[in-house]
Structure formats: C-alpha cells, structure tokens
Structure 1
Amino acid sequence: MLTSRQLRYFVEIVDAGSFSLAAERLFIAQSALSRQVRDIEQALQVTLLIRDARGLDLTPAGRSLYGNARRILAALDDAAVSAVHAERGTEGTVHLLHSSSVPLGPALLAAIARHVDAHPGVSIDIATASSEHQAHEIREGRADLGLAREPILRRYADLQYTPLFRESLMAVLPATHAMASCSSVPVAALRNERFVAQAHPERGGLGHRVADLCRAHGFSPQPAAVRSRKWSQLALVEAGFGVAIVPASMAKMAPTGVKAITLEDARADSGVLLICRHDATAITRRLADALVATCTEAAD
C-alpha cells in the first residue's frame, strides 16, 4: 500500500525533472528520495522511471501512476480544506436522512431553505432511510442527521436523540370503504381490517408504534395480501388492498382515493426524533439547531 507521502515525492520528482532538484524542493537527501522510488517500484513490481543522459523518462506504468497520484493528492488537499471549513461551520455538505413516515413538510423545508440561504457555503444532501437504520448510518459516518419516527429500539451512547414534535395518528381507508364517511373511528373498529403495513420484528418506527397501539385495544394488525412499510402503503390503500394507520403529516399527502379519519384515542400519536452524533461538526450542529428551533416554534 502506497502512502500519500510517497505519492507526493514521486509527483515532485516528475515535476522537477530530476532527483536532485526534487530533493532540494522537498528538503530531503537525494539518497532518501531514490530509496522511496525503489520502495514504490518494489511494492508495485513495476519500473516507473528511466534515468539516462537526457534526464528522467516515465515508463507507461510511471505515466499511469503520475496521473492518478496527482488526482489523489488533489482530492486529499480538497478533503483537508473541506474538513477545516466544516469544523468552522462555513462550508461543506450535511447528509440528512429521514424516514418515509417523516415527510419533509412545509415547515421543515422552509427551515432547510432558510438555513441554506444563511450559509451559502453549506449544501444539504437528503435521502430516505428507515428510522432504525438511520442511527447506524450516522454512527458509521455515512450520514450526519436523521429524522426518525419513534420508537427506536436500539440506541447508541455516542448518538444524541432529540425529540422534535409529536403528532396524531390517523386511520387511512379507501374512499369506498364503509367507514370512509365517518369523522372519527375507535381504534378497535379496525380489528377486522387488513393492514397494508406490518411491523418488522427487529425495527422500531411507525410500524412498531401502530402495532403497540392496536395491541392496547386488544388485537394485532392483520396483514393484507399486499404490504409495504414505505410511502407506497398509501397507494396500496387507494387500490383497496387494505387500511393503514399513519401520522397526520403523512395523511395530508394521501392521494384522492384515500380518506383520512381521526382515531378516537388520545394515545394515538407518535413522536419524531432528531438523531446526530454528540461530536457532530459545526455545520451539522447548526442545521440541527435550526430544525429544533423550527419545531419548537411550531409547537408554541
């Protein structure tokens, strides 16, 4: 495995056109520089440079390594600069995950837009991931923030879980359903219905919360023939495959063939959490604070 130092030495030799000049620029002994090149050639089992009376000449392997080395070193330099800007909170990308049961509604999108306007050097990359999976992605460094639906079954000590808001759960039925004309229904009225979403045995989130709510009323959700844990469950309801219980924010985005009905239970609600690392970068922390402030203002 080559090191970045070896790549820099090799690029400097080629750019200088001689070992002696490269050694002067790098402030190291020429013999040490020659030894580094021999180590690279030995590691790769190729010849990189040919020295003759005219100077240095690159072999095909040398030309290939030189081009790739310059690109790698440039990327490393960019990464270092980006890290400094990210720590200062002036520039970088924040990777934001959200569950499909936590739609980015007007309030959250407005907060994101305001944040981007206030910090022109910051970009935000948004993707969906299950509530349970978000924590793993953030912990592994592949994401920075998560908008997850409670409950989260497995929590990590190095992550911070901040409650953002709670919202009502609603029943969504096909518009042709016998209860579609009702303004509200008891949770128990769904006992004999087929649910197009089922809880995963190893995941929390919306499915787990709905299953708990139904069990509190003496039954377990019966699975429909066609099911989905994703946003597509609303399409399945519209197609008549069954019913679902979803958050109010999700119910507002239901297609025209779906009727959203209030559940007659004060416990029929669900919370949303903001997940991030305790040692989150400055730009991540600023966006997190902006989202928390927006949700706090909305609650007031």
Structure 2
Amino acid sequence: MISLKQFKYFIEIVEAGSYSRAAEKLFIAQSALSRQIKELEDELQTPLLTRDARQFELTPAGRLFFERGKRILEDIDDTLVQARHVGQGAQGVIRLQHSSSVILTPRISNALAHALAQHPGVTLDVSMLPSENQTMEIEEGRVDIGLLRLPTLRRHPHIQVREIGSEPLMVAVARDSPLAALDNVELADLSAQAFISIPHKDRGGLSYLVANLCLEQGFFPKPARALSRKSSQLNLIEAGLGIAIVPECMRLTAPAGVHFVRLSHGRLLSSVGLATRREADPLVAAFTDTLVARLAPSS
C-alpha cells in the first residue's frame, strides 16, 4: 500500500533536484530514501524516475504523479489546518471565488460583512475565476464558495447551485457611439453590431446567456476584432472596438468612456448563483446558509 510518507519523499526528491539534498532535508539516509521510492514504483508497477550516477529524470508517469501528488499533500495540509481551526471554536479560512461579471456590489459585500459578523472565527480568502472553472475548483476541494453567472454547462453531482438574485441586462457602448444617444434598444436591433464577448464552446455564464438570447432574435453575435470575457472588455468598448451585453452591476466598475443603454425595456435578466459542495464542512455550510438567507430572492 502506498503511504503518504512515500508521496512526501518523492515530491521532496523532485523539488530538491537530487536524492542527496532531499535526504539531508528529510533527515534520513539516502539509501532509505532510495528504498522508499523503489517500493513506491513497485506498488505502482511503473518507473517514476530514470536514474544514473549523478542525476535523474521524471518519466511521464513520474510527472503526473508529482503534479497530482503535490496537490494531494497541499489539500491534506489545508484540511488539517481547517480541522484544527474548527476544533478550536469554529475558526477557519473560507475560500470564495467570483466571476468577473459578478461584481461585489454593496448588496453582496454587505451580505458578506453580515455573514462574517455572525461567524467571528471566519476569514475570507476572495479571488476571481470564470464561472465554469469555479465549479471544477469546488468539486476538487480547492474552493469553498463560488459566486457565478448562470447558466453553468457542466454538471457536478457533488455541487449545489442556489440562485441568489437577478438583474437587468444592459448594452455597454462607447460614449461616442450612436447607440449612446438612445434611452432603450431592442436586442434584435443589435444584429449588425460587433460584440466584444462571444461564448466559449465549453463554458456557460454571461456570454452563453447572451448568445442564446440573440439566437432567439434570429442572429448570432458578430465577433469584434478584439475579444474578452473579462472585465477588460469594458476597456475595449471604451476604445470603440465593439459592444457588450452585460449585467447592470458592471456600471460600478466601468471606465468613464463607457455608456450603458437599457436593453429591451429591462425585460431581459441575468441571474447569479451561489455554488458549494452538497456536503460542505460544517463551518462552510453554516457560513453559506447565513449568506444565502441574506441574498436569496425571497429574502
């Protein structure tokens, strides 16, 4: 049976660059270290390293084992820290990610502040990642909570997504665009415009939603010469390179040269979801329930 010690030894050898340096750092004899790696390879029934008198190289199996093994050990270390914090009184770090189209508006920020006040032992680690990537990160245990733009295309059996609100879609245009003079524009009237953001074939989120809405009007978004699915799309719009259909919250971060026009009289909406593991640890589950109660549409 493969042991965590063998994982650690193998990763230490690769990172140190030699058996001798790894043995010194691990405070064991080099012969004992070599024996552990040989036992590991025997258990796997494949070589992980090719060796000569002075150096070694990773085999393809060794590269895979190193990358996955390092991630496993990091996850174990993180789990031990989280468990220790929880055992010491519901304390720990909760990792939250949001997509670039889910701005931390006052509504969301105030809900986070409220949840933190209700859970004084919690610290939030906030970062940004596309919606589809968030679900994978949560599924694999590297993220606890995701704030994502619906819909998501991939289905993960261990993840639940709860809707926490919706907002009108608007058209973001350059201030000198003829569209900027309008109070309202119908989606069908945008068929000739160049869109800064078009959908990725494997991702849902905002661009996927917008493309489907356009298809219902009989056209597919015409791509601009410069494309972005990130918040940088607003800078491209300011430069006059195209337009984008975005949620109303994007007005909060828009540069001065971008103007927002109401779309289809505010009838077209985009929803935000909150994603977690179905069987999240108690600290994450309690924090998430507090957050959802504050943000859910029925509240």
Asked if 1:175 is matched to 2:175, the reply is: yes
Q: 1:244 to 1:77 in 2, by over 3 A?
A: closer
Letter in 2 for 1:93: V
In structure 2, C-alpha distance between the alignment counterparts of 1:77 and 1:146, rounded to whole Å: 22
Question: TM-score, with normalisation over the residues of structure 1?
Answer: 0.72
SS at match of 1:179: helix
Alignment correspondent of 1:129: 129
Alignment correspondent of 2:238: 238
Structure 2: stretches of 5+ with no match in the other structure: 9-27, 36-75
Aligned-residue offset at 1:267: 5.0
Letter in 1 for 2:165: F
SS at match of 2:179: coil
Count of residues in correspondence between the two structures = 238
Q: Which moved more, 1:76-85 or 1:285-294?
A: 76-85
Alignment of 1:1-300 (within 5 A): 42-44=31-33, 80=80, 82-86=82-86, 90-264=90-264, 268-296=268-296
Aligned-residue offset at 1:41: 6.4
Letter in 1 for 2:285: R
In structure 1, C-alpha distance between the alignment counterparts of 2:96 and 2:137, rounded to whole Å: 10
In structure 2, C-alpha distance between the alignment counterparts of 1:225 and 1:174, rounded to whole Å: 15
In structure 1, C-alpha distance between the alignment counterparts of 2:4 and 2:285, rounded to whole Å: 33
Letter in 1 for 2:228: S
Aligned-residue offset at 1:110: 1.4
Aligned-residue offset at 1:291: 2.1
Aligned-residue offset at 1:86: 3.0
Aligned-residue offset at 1:116: 2.4
Aligned-residue offset at 1:253: 2.8
Q: 1:199 to 1:43 in 2, by over 3 A?
A: same
In structure 2, C-alpha distance between the alignment counterparts of 1:151 and 1:125, rounded to whole Å: 24
Letter in 2 for 1:243: I
In structure 1, C-alpha distance between the alignment counterparts of 2:200 and 2:281, rounded to whole Å: 33
Q: 1:148 to 1:44 in 2, by over 3 A?
A: same
Contact 1:187/1:263 (CA < 8 Å) preserved in 2?
A: yes
Q: 1:85 to 1:215 in 2, by over 3 A?
A: same
Contact 2:97/2:143 (CA < 8 Å) preserved in 1?
A: yes
Contact 1:107/1:294 (CA < 8 Å) preserved in 2?
A: no
Aligned-residue offset at 1:113: 1.9
SS at match of 2:285: helix
Contact 1:87/1:282 (CA < 8 Å) preserved in 2?
A: no
In structure 1, C-alpha distance between the alignment counterparts of 2:4 and 2:220, rounded to whole Å: 58
Aligned-residue offset at 1:43: 2.2
SS at match of 1:112: helix
In structure 2, C-alpha distance between the alignment counterparts of 1:78 and 1:266, rounded to whole Å: 45
Contact 1:94/1:123 (CA < 8 Å) preserved in 2?
A: yes
Aligned-residue offset at 1:118: 3.2
1:141-191 deviation line (CA, Å, top 9, x unaligned):
110110111111111111111111111111111110112111100001111
Contact 1:88/1:283 (CA < 8 Å) preserved in 2?
A: no
In structure 2, C-alpha distance between the alignment counterparts of 1:238 and 1:124, rounded to whole Å: 33
Contact 2:82/2:93 (CA < 8 Å) preserved in 1?
A: no
In structure 1, C-alpha distance between the alignment counterparts of 2:152 and 2:77, rounded to whole Å: 38
SS at match of 1:135: helix
Question: TM-score, with normalisation over the residues of structure 2?
Answer: 0.72
1:241-271 deviation line (CA, Å, top 9, x unaligned):
0100000111343222111111116651111
Aligned-residue offset at 1:286: 2.2
Identity of aligned residues (%): 40
Aligned-residue offset at 1:237: 0.6
Q: 1:105 to 1:153 in 2, by over 3 A?
A: same
Letter in 2 for 1:258: V
In structure 1, C-alpha distance between the alignment counterparts of 2:142 and 2:134, rounded to whole Å: 10
